[in-house]
Structure 1
Amino acid sequence: MSRRNAFRLPLALAAILALLPLAAPASAAVPPNGRLSFAVFRNGSQVGEHQLTFHKQDGNLAVDINTRIAVKVAFITAYRFEHEGHEVWHGDRLVRLWSKTNDDGTHHVLDAEAANAGLEIHADGHDADAPATIIPASLWNDGILQGGRILNTLDGSRMAIQVADLGPDTVFVKGSKEAAHHYAITGDLQRELWYDSSHVLVRIRFKAKDGSTIEYMPD
């Protein structure tokens, strides 16, 4: 599916959207300039970038997500991760998600859209469904802090998570200290997240499969 087609909403979906309330929570975490940009570090060395852009589309919120990571050892790429995702939100409901991923040679294609009773998911040749209220694991939306089951944005599977509130903290944003709130996600997804006072995501930290520390820092 092309990027253009990923945002083309069919008439049936448009009818469903007309029945959903317009709510604020999903857009509350959108940065004022409509962009989040992170440098990705592995054990303190930059290995990639992670960018999100937000824009209005026909009364909905569209989010473009791009991640590029390459870990080099002795000038040879030992690990590569490339992810392109596109989300469409109607208020606090995810109504369309499309992504393609290259996880070091393992490829995923995901296409999900709102249906009568929830979200219909087509991923890697398999079909599934999820509740209409499910939050994707793209992390920018602090609705993920409700815990429960979230949507894997690579393969469309559902992941069970628990969330711990670790309290107020400070983070460096472009060289300046800023107040933030720190959370830890455990379960099928392991992440530490920081959001600023406006609920905008400002930092991510987790352990990679090889035990290295991965951090997403604002650039």
Structure 2
Amino acid sequence: MSRIFWGGVATACAIFAIFYTGLHGAKADETLNYKVFKDGDPIGFEKVVLTDTADGQIAHITTETSVQVLFLQFHYHHNRTETWKDNHLVSVKAETDDDGSPYAWLAEYEGDCYEVAGKGVPRREECNAAWPLTLWREDITAKTSLYSVIDAAPYAVSVAKTVDTSLTIDNRNIPATHYVMTGDVARDLWYGKDGKLLKTSFKKKGYDIDFIRVDAP
């Protein structure tokens, strides 16, 4: 057979090998699934999909709740995309329908400084290294300046670590670290050994609200 034929075969094999390696060597997305409860009753979910990039990570967050209070039904839908580079926040894009009130905004970062503006959100520039209230990451507990994921309103908080403990989720005891956030936002936070949120609890209009991770390792 000719050199051309064997050259073509070799090229085809090389291309297939590159494709196969890329296909099977790529790291799969990580998904964190949470159920949302009001006074112990399920009212919705939150999903965090983490995609690794060449120099960081992209997080896609979706939250959906529907609550019946007396004769009224309240709906909440939220989508947010966070772009991280070397554990530094680069941008945040969020869209929310808060029971008929729409919000859509973009925050872009340069170091500790960021600019945020959009629908229902006054334009603001800050250099306080604030993050949105993105609780899936344990390192948010080091922050004292945050802002709302709905309308980007600024929050001043303090966070104290309490004790290493464990949570019972789906009849399993899971090691956890407990933090208490106070200030403009009050939250109890539990994180697993992987640095990802296991549970958050807080009060809203007198009701107990819990986000509990249902696929904790």
| CA deviation profile, 1:15-67 (whole Å, cap 9, x unmatched) | xxxxxxxxxxxxxxxxx961110110000100000110000234331000000
Are the structure 2 counterparts of residues 172 and 77 from structure 1 closer, same or farther at C-alpha, using a change threshold of 3 Å? farther
Paired positions, count:
186
Going from structure 1 to structure 2, the CA distance change for 1:55 and 1:77 (only over 3 Å counts) comes to farther
Return the match for 2:186 from 179, 190, 198.
190
Q: 1:133 offset after TM fit, Å?
A: 3.0
TM-score, with structure 2 as normaliser = 0.78
Do the aligned partners of residues 117 and 134 (structure 1) sit closer, same or farther apart at CA in structure 2, a change above 3 Å counting?
closer
- Give the equivalent residue in structure 1 for 2:104: 109
CA distance in 2: counterparts of 1:117 and 1:43, whole angstroms? 38
C-alpha distance 125-162 of structure 1, shift in aligned 2 (>3 A): closer
Match of 1:83, as an amino acid? H
Tell whether the 8 Å contact from 1:94 to 1:134 is kept in structure 2 after alignment.
no
Q: Deviations over 1:115-153 (max 9, x none)?
A: 476211113252112337322211112222113111222
1:176 to 164, 172, 186: 172
Given residue 101 of structure 1, which amino acid in structure 2 is its aligned partner? T
**2:155 is the counterpart of 1:159:** yes
Partner of 1:84: 79
Contact 1:94 1:133 in 2 (8 A): no
- 1:93 and 2:88 matched: yes
Summarize the alignment of residues 135-146 of structure 1 with structure 2, pairs less than 5 Å apart: 135-146=131-142
Corresponding residue of 1:212: 207
**TM-score, normalised relative to structure 1:** 0.78
Partner residue, 2:36: 40
Quickly say closer, same or farther: Cα 1:216–1:117, change in 2 above 3 A.
closer
Tell me the equivalent position of 1:202: 198
Q: Structure 2 vs 1, CA of residues 196 and 73 (structure 1 numbering), >3 Å: closer, same or farther? A: same
Secondary structure of 2:139's counterpart equals: helix
Instruction: Give 5+ residue unaligned stretches, structure 1.
Output: 1-31
- Deviation of 1:111 (Å): 0.5
The CA distance in 2 between the partners of 1:181 and 1:116, in whole Å, is 29
| 1:10 alignment partner in structure 2 | none
Larger radius of gyration, structure 1 or 2? 2
Runs of 4+ residues over 6 Å off in structure 1:
none
Q: Give % identity.
A: 24
3-state secondary structure, aligned to 1:143: helix
Contact 1:101–1:154 (8 Å) recurs in 2: yes
Give the CA deviation at 1:112: 0.9
Residue in 1 aligned with 2:8? none
Distance 1:78 1:167 in 2: 38
Displacement, 1:203? 0.4
Partner SS state of residue 49, structure 1: strand
State the partner residue of 1:27.
none
